[in-house]
Amino acid sequence: MPDVGLFSAALGLEEPWEVVDVQFDPARRRLDLRIDFPKGARFPCPECGAAGCKVHDTERHTWRHMNFWQHETYLSARVPRVICAEHGVKQVQVPWARERSDFTLLFEAFVMALVKEMPVRAIGGLVSEHDTKLWRIVHHYVDLAVEAQDLSGTEQLGIDDTSFRRGQDYVTVFADLEPCERRAVFVSDGRDQQTVEQFAGFLSAHGGDAKQIGEVCQDMSQAYAAGVREHLPNARVTFDRYHVKQKLSEAIDTVRKAEAKQHTELLKGTKYLWLKRTDNLTIKQLDWLDDLLGQPLDTVRAYEQALRFDDFYELRDPATAEEYLRRWVTEAKASELEPLVKFAEMIEAHWDGVLRWHRTRASNGLLEGLNSLIQAAKRRARGYRSARNYKTMIYLVAGKLNPGPQLT
C-alpha cells in the first residue's frame, strides 16, 4: 500500500486533514487521493473564526489537481459543515481549493501561469480539460485583480476602441498614460458615450476622481468627446496623432479608388504603396512608387500632401506648428480633391485637440504599442461566443496585473 503520509506531506496538509487512501489506475493514467479527517474532529467557524465547532454533516467533493508525472490526479474529501453558536451551520473552506471550484489552488495557479503565454484552448488540450472550465478560472482571478486596482493617482487617460470580431463587438480600452503606470485599467463593451460614463463610475469606485483627469488622448469620435465633456469635466483632449493620420490615409485611399476607375492598369495593386511608410516598402515597391510619382495623377497629389502633413508632427515649436498647419489646410482645400478637402475641414473642426498634441505630446502610443499584445489577446480569446474573454485577456496582457491564487 502506498505511503499515505508521504502524500499528506507533499500536499502540505495540516491536522485534522490527512490522506487516507490512494488509488492508481494505470489504464486510465489516473491517480486518486482521498482526504479525510478523524471522527470527532472540530473546525473553526468559517464566518467568525470561532474555534472548536462541531461537525454537523458533510458533502463529498472532488477536485482536479496537478498531474503526477503524466497521470491526472484528483483529490476527494468529505467537506464538513459546522455548527457555530453565533452563525449557525456553515460550510468549512478546505485549504487546498477555493469555494465552489472544481480545481485545486495549485492547478489554478498553473493555468494562470500558462494563460499569459498561450491560448486557453491550447491549455485545455494540454491538461485535458474543456476550455470553458478554464475560462472560469481565468475570469475569477482577473476579475479579482481588476477590482483590487487603486486608481487614486490617475490623471492622464488614453481611450481607444478595438473589435473582438471583424466589424462588430467593439470594446473600449481606457489606459492610464502616466509614465509610471502605462497600462490598461478598464475595458468596456461598445464604443459610445456610455463607455466614458462607465469608466467614471469605475474610477470613483477604485479611489480615483473624475475631476482629477486633466488630459485625455483619444481618436476623433464624437461619442467619446461628448462622454469626456460630460463625465470628465476638467479634461482637455488631445487627438491622437495615429488616428489623425489614419483619417488622412483613408482620404488618400478614397482618391486612389476613384481614380483607379480611369487608370485601372496603372493603379492596380498599388493601395499599400500609398499607405505604408516608405521605410516599410521593399526595394521593388520603392522603385514602383518612384515611377508612379512621375505620373500626373490625383493620387500622387494627395500622397504628396500627406507627406507634407507628416512634417506637422516633426516641428518642435507649437506656434510654428500651428502656422504650418494653417498653410497646409489652405493648400489641401485648394487641391479640390474632395476627400482631402473633407479631411482638412475635419482638422479645422477639431483644431484645438489636434494642436494640443504639440503641448502635451500625449499619445495613445501606449495603446498602439500594446496593440500587438491586444491582437494576441484576440487570438487567445478566439472561439468564444461573447467578448468577455477578449476583455479579460486585454486586462491580463495590458493591465500589468498579477492575477492568480496567493499560495503560501
**pLDDT tens over the chain, length 408 residues:** 567 888 888 899 999 999 999 999 999 999 999 999 999 999 999 999 999 999 999 999 999 999 988 899 999 999 999 999 999 999 999 999 999 999 999 999 999 999 988 888 889 999 999 999 999 999 999 999 999 999 999 999 999 888 877 666 789 999 998 878 889 999 999 999 999 999 999 999 999 999 999 999 998 889 999 999 999 999 999 998 989 999 999 999 999 999 999 999 999 999 999 999 899 999 999 999 999 999 999 999 999 999 999 999 999 999 999 999 999 999 999 999 999 999 999 999 999 999 999 988 876 665 666 666 777 666 666 655 578 888 998 999 889 999 999 876
C-alpha span between 345 and 252 (Å, rounded) = 15
Question: Residue 376 has what pLDDT?
Answer: 66
Cβ distance 215 to 236 under 8 Å? Answer: yes
Question: Residue 387 has what pLDDT?
Answer: 82
Q: What is the DSSP string of 232-250?
A: STT-EEEE-HHHHHHHHHH
Cis peptide before 16 (omega within 30 of 0): yes
Cβ distance 94 to 77 under 8 Å? Answer: yes
Judge residue 136's burial from the number of C-beta atoms within 10 Å of its C-beta, 0-12 exposed, 13-18 middle, 19 or more buried: middle
Question: Residue 2 has what pLDDT?
Answer: 61
Question: Residue 182 has what pLDDT?
Answer: 84
Maximum distance among all alpha carbons in the chain?
A: 95
Question: Residue 366 has what pLDDT?
Answer: 58
Question: Residue 367 has what pLDDT?
Answer: 60
User: 244, 239, 256: which is closest to 295 by C-alpha?
Assistant: 256
Cβ distance 92 to 81 under 8 Å? Answer: yes
